[in-house]
Structure 1
Amino acid sequence: MHAANLSFFARTGGAPQRTRTSELAAALADEILRGQLAPGLRLDEQELAQRFRVSRTPVREALGQLAAAGLVEHRPRRGVIVAVISPQRLHEMFAVMAELEASASRLAATAMTAEERQGLDASHRASQTAVHHSRIDDYEAFNQEFHTRIYAGCHNTYLRDLLNATRARLAPFRRAQFNLLGRLAASWREHDAVVNAILRGDGEGAARAMREHLTVVSGAAAEYVSAQTHQFIA
């Protein structure tokens, strides 16, 4: 494994920041989803720490995130290995995510304060710059902020906890689909439909737009992973 460039951890363009652990998890997930880290490959904590020039703590935490997403597995006497991705499991997780986010969007349409609505709209408009310049990393950070604002805006703590737990499992796949041609612009338009429905207080419209958005994301993620790795199993 080659040494990682320290600039990997830098953020530019005013996009929301991510932690070093999440940056590391994102880098490893991208390599798995592109097939650079093949199924069955053992991932050694010390080697990864040396490669990315970090301590073993963020490596261990990053591998935990990947395990939650089903990208790696802990095997007795072998340690952490790259897993084979199941399309059925991916579909099931996205189906649950779509319903949870639809519910949050429905609630947010009536529960959001004026300040929260303004913040959602402003962040959404700001993300256009990342789309226009094809900056996937920046748009992905704005995407996380977009969904986080809706989770908070639904003002239901239990639902928000469920959303955050499920999102953590799907994060690598949601990020990977932005590599598809035209996906950034399409995602922005899908977000726009959700935002407009929330701003006009249309709960059912917001739920419908968000469900449609997550359905598209699910298909795009499966398409990207299948095309890159050819490792899906029935």
Structure 2
Amino acid sequence: MANATLSETVAQALATEIIDGKLAAGDRLDEQSLAQRFKVSRSPVRDALRHLAATHLVEYAPRRGFSVTRIDPARLQDMYDALAELEALCARFCALRASAMEKVALERIHERARVAASKLASEDYAALNEDFHFTIYSGARNETLKTVVLDVRRQLGPFRSRIFFQRARLESSMEEHERVLTAILASDPDAAATAMRQHTAQTAANVIQLSSRPVVATTRKSNR
């Protein structure tokens, strides 16, 4: 398995444990112990910890090494406020600039997501959710905006990792996507921006709520 894939696997596993409270604020993250636990070399563990430091889930201090940082709801809200405006602008531009083929692709992704939601296939839905948002970013036809929004979204990735294991959030996300899609297909930039801003704000509320307590899984894993 590629080193990048190993580091991503370790990073995701650690992120889930931090967000679920299995790893507490201040807990030290020893590279050698983690390498033994995940049965990998220290290199992918080090890469994983650096990635988590970039998302502020862990922090590094000289002579102490890596440790779990406290999840700060205020910082999460700041990041989601920024993401909401960036994604609203993407949706606005997409409604104005997306090609007919891109709109068809967005519809198809949405329909596949509907099937995943109906089966409570959370991992499938999460992947399709990414496809839905990325298609909107591409349809916005602004590479600078796309680069910035992807960077903010990447930083928030670990916090979103468990959200679609909540059935209510999975279902409400579908409804919110429906409003975004309808506005884009109608080439209505104001409605698209408003719908996307509201969607991101609701995601923020759910993520911040879930970050303060363990997640109870109510959906099934992917069949992919």
TM-score by length of 1: 0.85
The answer to whether the Cα contact below 8 Å between 2:87 and 2:149 also exists between their aligned partners in 1 is yes
Q: Secondary structure of the equivalent of 1:184?
A: helix
- Counterpart residue number, 2:119: 133
The two structures, once aligned, show a CA RMSD in angstroms of 1.9
In the TM superposition, residue 132 of structure 1 has moved relative to its aligned partner by: 1.6
- Counterpart residue number, 1:174: 160
Report percent identity of matched pairs: 43
- Counterpart residue number, 2:33: 47
CA distance in 1, matches of 2:186, 2:6: 38
The answer to whether the Cα contact below 8 Å between 2:120 and 2:167 also exists between their aligned partners in 1 is no
Q: Among 86, 108, 111, which residue is 2:97 paired with? A: 111
Q: Closer, same or farther in 2 for the Cα pair 1:53/1:121, shift >3 Å?
A: farther
Q: Among 137, 143, 153, which residue is 2:139 paired with? A: 153
The answer to whether the Cα contact below 8 Å between 2:109 and 2:132 also exists between their aligned partners in 1 is yes
Task: Map 1:20-35; keep pairs closer than 5 Å.
Answer: 20-35=6-21
**Alignment partner of 1:68 is 2:54:** yes
- Counterpart residue number, 2:208: 222
Q: Closer, same or farther in 2 for the Cα pair 1:129/1:41, shift >3 Å?
A: same
The answer to whether the Cα contact below 8 Å between 1:26 and 1:172 also exists between their aligned partners in 2 is yes
- Counterpart residue number, 2:75: 89
The answer to whether the Cα contact below 8 Å between 1:180 and 1:220 also exists between their aligned partners in 2 is no
- Counterpart residue number, 1:99: 85
Point out where structure 1 has 5 or more consecutive residues left out of the alignment.
Answer: 1-5, 7-17, 230-234
In the TM superposition, residue 34 of structure 1 has moved relative to its aligned partner by: 0.6
- Counterpart residue number, 2:197: 211
In the TM superposition, residue 151 of structure 1 has moved relative to its aligned partner by: 1.0
Q: Secondary structure of the equivalent of 1:73?
A: strand
CA distance in 1, matches of 2:139, 2:5: 23
**Alignment partner of 1:122 is 2:89:** no
Which amino acid letter does the alignment assign opposite residue 203 of structure 2? V
- Counterpart residue number, 2:221: none
CA distance in 2, matches of 1:155, 1:117: 13
Q: How many residues align?
A: 213
The answer to whether the Cα contact below 8 Å between 1:41 and 1:81 also exists between their aligned partners in 2 is yes
The answer to whether the Cα contact below 8 Å between 2:88 and 2:196 also exists between their aligned partners in 1 is yes
In the TM superposition, residue 110 of structure 1 has moved relative to its aligned partner by: 1.3
- Counterpart residue number, 1:3: none
TM-score by length of 2: 0.88
Point out where structure 2 has 5 or more consecutive residues left out of the alignment.
Answer: 216-224
The answer to whether the Cα contact below 8 Å between 1:180 and 1:224 also exists between their aligned partners in 2 is no
